Amino acid sequence: MNTDIKDYYAQRAREYEEIYERPERRDDLLLMEREAAALFAGRDVLEIACGTGYWTRFIARSARSVVAVDCNPQALGIAKAKDYGGRPVLFLESDVYSLSNVEGLFSGAFLGFWWSHIPKSKLGRFIKTLHSRLADDARVAMFDNRYVEGNSTPISRTDADGNTYQIRQLKDGSSHEVLKNFPGEKDLRQQLRDRAWELVFRQWTYYWMARYTVKRGKRPLTLPSPPGEGGQKRPLVLG
Ligand SMILES: C[S@@+](CC[C@H](N)C(=O)[O-])C[C@H]1O[C@@H](n2cnc3c(N)ncnc32)[C@H](O)[C@@H]1O
């Protein structure tokens, strides 16, 4: 059985978006799609583990720019072939645990169904790496799955760190053991306690969403942006 998450998603790339067609989940997804389209108005967004670009299409509608990264060339190939309505979207092959080839400082970050795949032992380091690419007052938002009995793939085991796993099958008949955690609001608040301002957590039947503002040191003083900059606040730089 394959247990490498990168291999699993490389093999799954072509059938990946079928997960968004499950009829019972469409009502939730419609609300989330609307939310995604407005989440990052006027911001420069780093999208983590973008996969086939499903959420990129919505984010790009209001963002000023999007740099979307994934380690998987198969998924990136599908993402690049999509229409983003002429919006500035750049796809980059990158490992999200290092982001070593990602340049610049972003005012937003989006994680679609990625947090749940991070081993608990790597969460702290991942957040640090992500925040190192984000400006003060950047907005981070994420969507992920709730565990729904009878609908979600059953949990096959729990390891010593408390990570949970599922056995998933692809259309070619291959089986894959995939790390998939189902954190709740309390876990998110705990993990982000010294790193986030204004954490908002919402959930629907099948999914949850969290968004927060990056916290770094003291709350920065802010000034309203000049007209024409999307109404964002910009840090007041002193000295
Ligand atoms: C659950 S999919 C999410 C795709 C997309 N964000 C979405 O919501 O539709 C997880 C993605 O993480 C990518 N991935 C796994 N490990 C990665 C890593 N270390 N660096 C970058 N991407 C990774 C996989 O290639 C896959 O596209």
Could you tell me the distance, in angstroms and rounded to a whole number, from the CA of residue 72 to the centre of ligand 1? 7
Label residue 113 left, alpha or beta by phi (over 0 means left) and psi (-120 to 50 means alpha).
left
**CA-proximal residue: ligand 1, atom 20 (nearest):** 95
Could you tell me the distance, in angstroms and rounded to a whole number, from the CA of residue 75 to the centre of ligand 1? 9
Cβ neighbours around 197 below 10 Å, total: 12
Q: Is the pLDDT of residue 65 over 60?
A: yes
What is the pTM (predicted TM-score) of this model?
A: 0.91
What average pLDDT is seen over the chain?
92
Residue 113, amino acid: F
**Cβ neighbours for 112, distance < 8 A, ≥ 6 positions apart:** 47, 49, 50, 51, 54, 55, 142, 143
Distance CA 138, CA 196 (A): 10
Could you tell me the distance, in angstroms and rounded to a whole number, from the CA of residue 160 to the centre of ligand 1? 24
Could you tell me the distance, in angstroms and rounded to a whole number, from the CA of residue 85 to the centre of ligand 1? 23
Which atom of ligand 1 lies closest to the CA of 20? 9
Q: What angle do CA 36, 93, 16 make, to 5 degrees?
A: 55
**CA-proximal residue: ligand 1, atom 24 (nearest):** 9
Ligand 1: list residues with CB < 6 Å.
5-6, 9, 49-51, 54-55, 70-72, 75, 95-97, 112-114, 117
Indicate the pLDDT class of residue 216, thresholds 50, 70 and 90.
confident
